[in-house]
């Protein structure tokens, strides 16, 4: 949600495929944007042209993660007004946290690159959970870590899996359509959908003024990693 990293994800996937000599249909590359390396490379390694190479998906995925860390430094950027939203959340909510399925090393790379750690009271990464979204575990662990009820959280999500996970945790969910079709986020049952971070800031401010049903904690995942 904060980091526009889809180009970095695709570049890393293309690099690892070239490095390992894997064949990937050109029309399949778009699926890596917003998807997960695990599922993408499971598909690639199952293709007949890649059979018999003796590669395991975990090896390919780990190499892709290494390349991704490099690509974050080269091409990833924050979405416009993302820092404004973080500053608003710090002023509005009691706690602000990240709840992501991405590995800690990827989250840490983004936090360091853009100096974002100061905005968060807690960070739950994929290393801290046993189930990825749409399982609600990341949000439940975040609530436990911060000492709040999951139903008292406001979650901002940009993926359908993330929205479903947050709804299962019984949080109030805002979908942000920076990299998805807004209708898909509505169908995933987000309570409210915004188009960008400027609109997100307006909605958060409205929640704060309305009080009552607004949550005390904001927990959030960015894209396929951060």
- Of 126, 128, 107, 105, give the one whose Cα is nearest residue 117: 107
> Over 80: is that where the pLDDT of 85 sits?
yes
pLDDT value, residue 142 = 94
Per residue in 127-160, pLDDT (tens digit) is: 889 998 889 999 999 999 999 999 999 999 998 9
Q: Are residues 133 and 50 in the same domain?
A: no
Residue with tokens 């853009």, as numbered in its chain: 114
Q: Count of domains in the chain? A: 2
Residue 226 lies in a domain: no
Q: Are residues 131 and 70 in the same domain?
A: no
Q: Which domain holds residue 192?
A: 79-220
d(CA 168, CA 140): 10
Q: Are residues 115 and 161 in the same domain?
A: yes
Q: Order of strands across the sheet with 122-124?
A: 122-124, 95-99, 217-220, 153-157, 172-176, 192-194
pTM: 0.81
pLDDT value, residue 150 = 94
d(CA 127, CA 217): 22
Length of the chain: 226
């Amino acid at each position: 949600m904060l980091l526009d990293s889809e180009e970095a994800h695709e570049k890393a996937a293309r690099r690892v495929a070239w490095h390992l000599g894997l064949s990937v249909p050109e029309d399949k590359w778009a699926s890596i944007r917003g998807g997960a390396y695990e599922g993408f490379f499971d598909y690639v390694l199952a293709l007949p042209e890649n059979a018999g190479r003796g590669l395991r998906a975990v090896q390919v995925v780990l190499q892709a993660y290494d390349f991704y860390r490099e690509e974050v430094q080269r091409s990833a950027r924050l979405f416009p007004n993302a820092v404004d939203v973080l500053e608003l959340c710090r002023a509005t909510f009691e706690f602000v946290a990240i709840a992501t399925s991405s590995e800690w090393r990827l989250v840490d790379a983004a936090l360091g690159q853009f100096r974002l750690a100061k905005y968060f009271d807690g960070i739950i990464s994929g290393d801290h959970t046993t189930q990825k979204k749409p399982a609600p575990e990341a949000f439940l662990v975040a609530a436990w870590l911060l000492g709040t009820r999951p139903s008292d959280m406001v979650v901002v999500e940009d993926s359908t899996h993330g929205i479903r996970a947050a709804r299962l945790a019984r949080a109030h969910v805002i979908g942000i359509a920076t990299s998805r079709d807004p209708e898909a986020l509505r169908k995933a049952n987000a309570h409210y959908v915004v188009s960008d971070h400027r609109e997100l800031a307006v909605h958060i401010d409205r929640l704060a003024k309305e009080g009552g049903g607004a949550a005390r904690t904001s927990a959030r995942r960015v894209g396929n990693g951060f």
